[in-house]
Every structure is written in structure tokens, then in C-alpha cells.
Amino acid sequence: MQIGMVTACYLPVVNGVTRMIELYKKYLTAAGHEVTVFTVGEPDEVSDEPDVIRTAGIAVGDTGYYLTIRYNRLARAKMREMDIIHCHHLLMSAEMARRYGRCPIVYTNHTRYDLYTGSHIPLPQAAADAVMRQLWPDLTDNCDVVITPSASVQDVMRAFGVRRPIEVIPNGIELTTFARPGSPHSKQDLGLPDDAIVFTYVGRLSVEKNLDRLVTQFALARDVDRRLHLLIIGGGPQAASLARMISEHDLQDSIHLHGQVHHDKIGNLLTAADAFVTASVTEVHPLTVIEALAAGLPVAAVASPGISDTVIPGRNGLLARQVSGLSAAIVALASQPERLAAMSAAAREDSRQYDIRRTVAQTLALYERLRSERPDLERRKEKILWRWQDRQPLVEQLARLLRPQD
């Protein structure tokens, strides 16, 4: 089968989406399929990885994302040869696949666009929701089936009016990388005391991850238990401001910024930790949480879609109802070593359902079904209009939401 992975960004950009595409490509190729990645990048960017076609685009700041209005000639021609196209972004992905593809199109929703819109654009959440109630259904109409990695986000997408069939296929990881890392680290390797209770966060350092709240909640927990340490692994636009915040609160001795680490090395670092913590409420089905479970780390987090599908309170972690309760969850895990050990064993056991081989098998079954049913033949008869006059109701609603109150 010729499979196209269409994405708004790809390696060397590091995030959960590019990691999933990398894994899909690896395991689908090993199963005998031909996988081509279609993406956008620098005009002179050349990929060392085979079967990656980059169309030149305009950089969106330093985000790693690029914009283009059309794919290059090679990408357009190659996309017409695909048996299945699998899109991984709502913008710069699904519409391109519909325009150039001649086969069924699958779209995986990796992002809480409703929450990201409010985080990254100065809009009230009500205005961001209005935007997504229009865009989410319209843009997913470019596809035949939507995949969501968690059932709770399936509910969110339905609430926002997505019309296409939605199937739940959980994200997967290479379990061995985290369950049995090649070079495990100890607390001493990281310069931490033997009696330290180490919580770790792994991920992008950006505003939607709620890292300022994480630092605040950890500081409250450490006031209760001075053995607590927080290891933050990752890079991103908030790295400098986070370092300043840690310094201003005199937390340099207990919160450690480890910086960006190659993905293959993260499992080694997790062996020095006792638990995982995140304050993010914008997740879909976070790979870093799954990786923590595979490493035997109970998770302290906030109950929210995506997280609640993965973390089972009292079994493999603890969930706070609000971010303000995260400090209590941290203290509760740190103060009960026997319970922590039991949760660690449960975390390893629960992670087995997220084996990437299982994810790929489920996705392949969907591909085969779509190749047989060919819903794209009916979809291609539909006319999708993208004229400003068709967006007048959205514009009027935004105007009402953004108008200053009298």
C-alpha cells in the first residue's frame, strides 16, 4: 500500500505529532508498505531521510511551522499515487490532501485547537470557541474519517459540530525504550540527594502547558516536603521566562531545567524519577504521559480530556480537579511510598495497551476498510466553499464577542 503522511511540520521539529508520524513511518515501512511524508519547510531544506517531500514555505516565527498555498510539482504528482492519505494537522494538511489526493483521507486530531486558539491568540475563550465551531467541522469535511486518540476528545469534537465519522485509536509508543532503557540514570547521576523524591515533567516549554502554574504548585508542595525535586526536560519559547521565575522564587536548588534531550535518551533520565507531573489541560492523548507510565512513573495531573483517558486515579496516579489542587496530589504521592510502589507496578502494566504495534495494526485495519469502501468517491462530489461571504455568520458572532462592553 502507498501511504501518504501529510503534516504541517516534520523532523527536525520535535513534538508529539512529529514523533507519531516518525513511528507510523517506521512501523508501516517495516510491514511492507511504502510511506511518503508530505510537509512544508525552508526553500533550501533537504531531508536526509528518504521519502520525505518538502514544499518551500514561509516560516511562522520560530515555531517550526511554515505556510504555503500549494504543494510543489513533485508533491502534487506523488500524492496522486497514494492509496491512503493520513493527515496530522487541521490546517496546511487536510485541505492539501483533498486538493491533490485521489484516495480515501484519514485525519488524526492531535490537538485541542479550541484551547490552543485561546492560548496563542488574544481572543476570549468564547470567541475562540466560536471560531472552532466553524472551522473544526468545515476543515474535517476534507477527510473521510477522523481519528482521535482518546474517547473524551471524541466527545469534544462532536460538541464542536464535527460531522465526519470519528474513530478512537490511542497513540502508541515503543515500550521497551522506557520500560528497559539502555543507560538508566540514578539520582546521583543528576546530582540529587539519595533521599530526594523526584517528580519530572517532559515536554515543550510553552504557554499552553501551564508551566508557570506547575512551578507554583510544586513550590507549595515543597513547603510541605523538603525532599521534593522537580526535573523539567524539554525546550521551547518559555524556557527563559521559566528560568527567571524559578530564580525569582529561589527554587534553583529544587527545580532543575535539564533542557532539550534527544528522544532516545529520555527513558534513561526517567529512571532517576519517582513520579511524573503535568499541569497541562490542553492534551489529547499525551505521549509523554504514556512514556512515563511505561517507565513505571505514577502521574500527578489535572483531570481533563486526554489526561483522564490515561491516568486512573488511585491506580496509576492521582488527578486534581483543578490546577490549584495539583500540589496536594504531589504531596500525597510523595508521602506514601508503599502506595507509590503499587502505582508504579500498575503504571507499567497499564502502558502495555499503548504499544505502537497495536496502534499501527488498528490504523492499518482502518486503511484497508476505507480502500474497500471508497467513501472518497462520494466525498469528492461535495462542494466545499471557502469564500468570505460564507463566513459572515462567524464574523458577526466574533464582532459581538469582541465588542467592548458599554
* pLDDT mean across residues, the chain: 91
Record the pTM: 0.91
The rounded Cα 237 to chain-centroid distance in angstroms is: 17
Kindly report, residue by residue over 242-258, the tens digit of the pLDDT. 999 999 999 999 999 99
CB contact burial 18-30 (16+ within 10 A = b; e otherwise): bbbbbbbbebbee
Kindly report, residue by residue over 269-284, the tens digit of the pLDDT. 999 999 999 999 999 9
The mean per-residue pLDDT over the stretch 164-193 comes to 96
End-to-end CA separation in angstroms for the chain: 60
pLDDT classification of 298: cutoffs 50, 70, 90: very high
In the predicted structure, residue 260 carries a pLDDT above the cut 60:
yes
Task: Tell me which fold the domain 175-354 belongs to.
Answer: Rossmann fold (3.40.50)
pLDDT classification of 406: cutoffs 50, 70, 90: very low
In the predicted structure, residue 126 carries a pLDDT above the cut 60:
yes
Please report the pLDDT score of residue 397 as a whole number: 53
As to burial, measured by CB atoms within 10 angstroms (0-12 exposed, 13-18 middle, 19+ buried), residue 250 is exposed
Please report the pLDDT score of residue 118 as a whole number: 56
301 in Cβ contact with 307 (< 8 Å): yes
> Grid coordinates 515501512 are at which residue?
29
Please report the pLDDT score of residue 384 as a whole number: 61
Please report the pLDDT score of residue 63 as a whole number: 73
The architecture (CATH level 2) of 2-172+357-402 comes to 3-Layer(aba) Sandwich (3.40)
- 53-62, 96-105, 110-119: the lowest-pLDDT one: 110-119
Domain with CATH 3.40.50.2000 in the chain: 2-172+357-402, 175-354
Please report the pLDDT score of residue 175 as a whole number: 98
| Cα angle for residues 246, 251, 256 (degrees, 5° grid) | 75
